[in-house]
Structures are given as structure tokens and as C-alpha cells.
Amino acid sequence: MILILGGTTEAAALARLLAGRPGIPAMLSLAGRTQNPAPPPIPYRVGGFGGVEGLSTFLRERRARAMVDATHPFAEQMSAQAVAAAQRTGVQLLALRRPAWRAEPRDNWTEVADAEAAAVALGSEPRRVFLTTGRLELPAFLAAPHHFYLVRSVDAPEELPPHARLILARGPFAEEDELALMREERIEVVVTKNSGGSATYGKIVAARRLGLPVILLKRPEVAEVETVTTAEEALAWIERRLG
């Protein structure tokens, strides 16, 4: 069995590829953060494993032959646990991770370590902010209630800043739609994670076209692991391991 740690577009793409390879038994694991996730085309499980210990037991019991960490680049804890469990059990580990976005000459980016730093970087003057960091990062912005926030997330946050409008939506988002939304809402600054990939890159291009600054949360440091950037490359790696 191949265990895929999911929660990303890339994990879903790999699950689709594996669904077409019945000779390679695989299971997708989801954290369970998203309500009503689209059902994957291969067997799946939902919820934490219970740390390194739990994941190691799972890998042993299911006789996993390999594990693909296709979690989001900001899922720092799960990625670290995957490395530790792979070392403990001897199960081979591959990371499937899209490359980070890189600034182009016309981009006006401020890179910060976390959401708290992003809230500070917004400054003391009230601004109209397009906030797409995900609902779990939202509490940090309650400390900067003088801004207006256009908050977009997949699931509703528990609490919104006092001046906010919530859009519940799941990507991909087209560049032209992002441009129209940002114009309509008179956005002055975008705050986002440096997630990488094309599905949510439209807002970065829209900000560039509008000459707007972007505050990016930097990716957490992760352990060195053999890494590929596409589901196709991950499938090729799996086939080589099983061959």
C-alpha cells in the first residue's frame, strides 16, 4: 500500500492517477479540516494518526511500501512527523510539493515569517486588505482591527475582524475574476501564504497589474526529503519503487 498524505490539489491529482492503476493499492489520508471534501477516487481515511507513534503504527499495520507527503507547504507539523515516521519504520518517503512563487520585477512583495508579522506589516493606517491566508491564521488579524478585510476561505472562520466581508470559496480562481473582485472591493494590499501553484496565483498577477503591494507569509523550513513537484513525477517514483 502507498500512503498519500493529502489535502492539496497535487494529492488529489496523484489519487486520480493511482485510480487508473489498480495494480498499485493506495490510500489517501486527509486531516479532516475541510467540511465536505470532494470524495477521492481511491480508498481514503480522515483525521490525525496520533503523532509519529500513531503514523508509524499505521504504516506498519498496513504494510505500507512507501509514503508520499503531498500536504500543503504550510502543514509543517505533519511533514515533520512523516519524516520521523519514515525513519522509524524504514518506509520510503517522497515529498510532492509545488515550488514557491518567486517575485517578478514589477512585484512589490513584503515577505514575513507568520500571520502575526503580516498583521504588523499592514501598518497603523487603515487599509483595505484582501486576506487569503486561510481561516486558521485569522485570529492574528483581530489584533489589527482598524483595517477592512475581504476574507476568503474554504470554510467559515470562527471569528472575523470587526470590519470584514467573508467570501466562502474554493479555488482555482481566474486572474480576471481576481482583478474584478479587487477593483470592486477597492483593495489596497493582498495578504497571502506563499503557497505556490497555479490555482491561486491569479491574485498575485492581479496585484501586479494593479500595482498593489503583497504581504506573503514565508514557507516554514522543512527537512530535506527527496522532492518532486508534479503528480506525474510522484507516480513515476512510485512505479520505480514497486518495480
Ligand X SMILES: NC(=O)c1ccc[n+]([C@@H]2O[C@H](COP(=O)([O-])OP(=O)(O)OC[C@H]3O[C@@H](n4cnc5c(N)ncnc54)[C@H](OP(=O)(O)O)[C@@H]3O)[C@@H](O)[C@H]2O)c1
Q: Which of 15, 56, 74, 231 binds ligand X (CB under 6 A)?
A: 74
Q: Which of 10, 66, 67, 72 binds ligand X (CB under 6 A)?
A: 72
The nearer residue to ligand X, 8 or 188, going by C-beta atoms, is 8
Whether 24 contacts 234, CB under 8 Å: no
Q: Which of 2, 3, 6, 215 binds ligand X (CB under 6 A)?
A: 6
- Tell me the C-alpha distance between 43 and 29, whole Å: 9
Q: How far is CA 63 from CA 31, 59, 216, in A?
A: 21, 6, 40
Whether 192 contacts 178, CB under 8 Å: no
The 3-state DSSP class for residue 6 equals: coil
The answer to whether residue 7 forms part of the interface with ligand X (CB under 6 A) is: yes
CB of 233 to ligand X, least distance (A): 18
Q: Which stretch binds ligand X (CB under 6 A): 77-85, 118-126, 145-153, 161-169?
A: 77-85
The answer to whether residue 196 forms part of the interface with ligand X (CB under 6 A) is: no
* Per-position x/- string for 136-175, each x denoting binding to ligand X as judged by CB under 6 A, each - no binding: ----------------------------------------
Q: Which stretch binds ligand X (CB under 6 A): 12-20, 72-80, 88-96, 113-121?
A: 72-80
- Tell me the C-alpha distance between 1 and 22, whole Å: 11
CB of 29 to ligand X, least distance (A): 4
CB of 44 to ligand X, least distance (A): 10
- Angle of helix 202-210 versus helix 175-184 axis, rounded to 10: 50
* Ordered strands of the 92-96 beta sheet: 44-46, 26-30, 2-5, 66-69, 92-96, 227-228
Per-residue buried b or exposed e for 22-52, using 16+ beta carbons within 10 Å of the residue's own CB: eebebbbbbbeeeeebeebebebeeeebeeb
Q: Which of residues 18-57 bind ligand X (CB under 6 A)?
A: 29-31, 33, 48-51, 54-55
- Which residues of the shown chain bind ligand X in the complex (CB under 6 A)? 5-8, 29-31, 33, 48-51, 54-55, 71-72, 74-78, 81, 134, 193
